[in-house]
C-alpha cells in the first residue's frame, strides 16, 4: 500500500487526477495483467462503492484503463490501457520537440546578436547551454522512441 500511495501522489500531479482516481490507477498498475476487480478496490483502497465507481468510469473515459472478463465469471478485471502508455510517450516526444524548437529559435536569435556584437566589440552570448540542451533532447527523443518500438514489437508484454 505504501507504493500505491507513493505512485498515487505522483500520478495526481502528472496526470492531474483526483486523489482516489490516482490511487485506483496506481493499484491497477501494480496489479498487472491479472487485473483487479471492483470489489478488491473497494476493500483494499477503503473507499465507498460510489466513489470507486465514479473514478473507474472517469479513468475509462480518459482511456487510462480497460477491463476484461473471464469465462464463467461475471466480474470485470481492470487493467492499464496499454495504448495510454504509447500515447504518453508520443506526448513526451511532442513536448520535447516543442522545447527543442524554442531553443533553436533562441539560439538563432543569440547567434544574430553575437554577429552584431562581434562587429561592435561587445560581449557575446554563450551558446553552449542551448547546444548541449538540444543535443540532450535529441538523445532523449531517440531513446524514448526506441522504447516505444520495443513495446510495440513485444506486443505489449508489460
The better pLDDT of the pair 122, 127 is held by 127
pTM above 0.75, yes or no: no
Model pLDDT, residue 155: 61
Start-to-end Cα distance in the chain: 21
Identify the weakest region by mean pLDDT among 5-19, 85-99, 110-124: 110-124
Q: Which residues, 6+ apart, have CB-to-CB distance to 134 below 8 Å?
A: 100, 103, 104, 107
Contact status, residue 59 vs residue 67, Cβ threshold 8 Å: no
CB 23 within 8 A of CB 8: yes
82-120 and 128-153 helices cross at what angle (nearest 10)? Answer: 160
Query: 71 phi and psi, to 5 degrees?
Result: -55, 130
Domain boundaries, the chain: 2-80, 83-153
Query: Where residue 156 falls among pLDDT bands split at 50, 70, 90?
Result: low
**pLDDT at residue 158, as a whole number:** 47
How do residues 67-100 score in pLDDT, each as one tens digit? 999 999 999 999 999 888 898 899 999 999 999 9
Per-residue pLDDT, averaged over 47-59, amounts to 96
Please answer whether residues 85 and 151 qualify as being in contact, where contact means their C-beta atoms are separated by less than 8 angstroms: yes
Strands (E), 38-137: 65-69, 76-80
Query: Does domain 2-80 sit in CATH 1.10.10.10?
Result: yes
Amino acid at each position: 500500500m505504501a507504493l500505491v500511495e507513493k505512485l498515487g501522489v505522483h500520478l495526481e500531479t502528472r496526470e492531474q487526477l483526483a486523489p482516489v482516481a490516482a490511487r485506483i490507477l496506481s493499484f491497477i498498475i501494480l496489479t498487472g495483467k491479472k487485473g483487479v476487480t471492483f470489489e478488491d478496490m473497494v476493500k483494499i483502497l477503503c473507499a465507498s462503492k460510489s466513489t470507486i465507481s465514479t473514478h473507474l468510469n472517469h479513468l475509462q473515459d480518459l482511456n487510462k484503463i480497460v477491463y476484461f472478463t473471464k469465462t464463467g465469471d461475471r466480474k470485470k478485471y481492470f487493467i492499464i490501457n496499454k495504448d495510454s502508455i504509447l500515447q504518453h510517450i508520443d506526448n513526451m516526444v511532442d513536448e520535447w520537440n516543442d522545447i527543442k524548437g524554442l531553443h533553436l529559435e533562441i539560439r538563432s536569435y543569440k547567434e544574430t546578436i553575437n554577429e552584431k556584437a562581434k562587429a561592435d566589440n561587445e560581449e557575446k552570448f554563450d551558446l553552449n547551454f542551448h547546444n548541449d540542451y538540444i543535443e540532450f533532447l535529441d538523445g532523449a527523443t531517440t531513446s524514448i522512441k526506441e522504447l516505444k518500438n520495443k513495446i510495440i514489437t513485444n506486443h505489449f508484454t508489460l
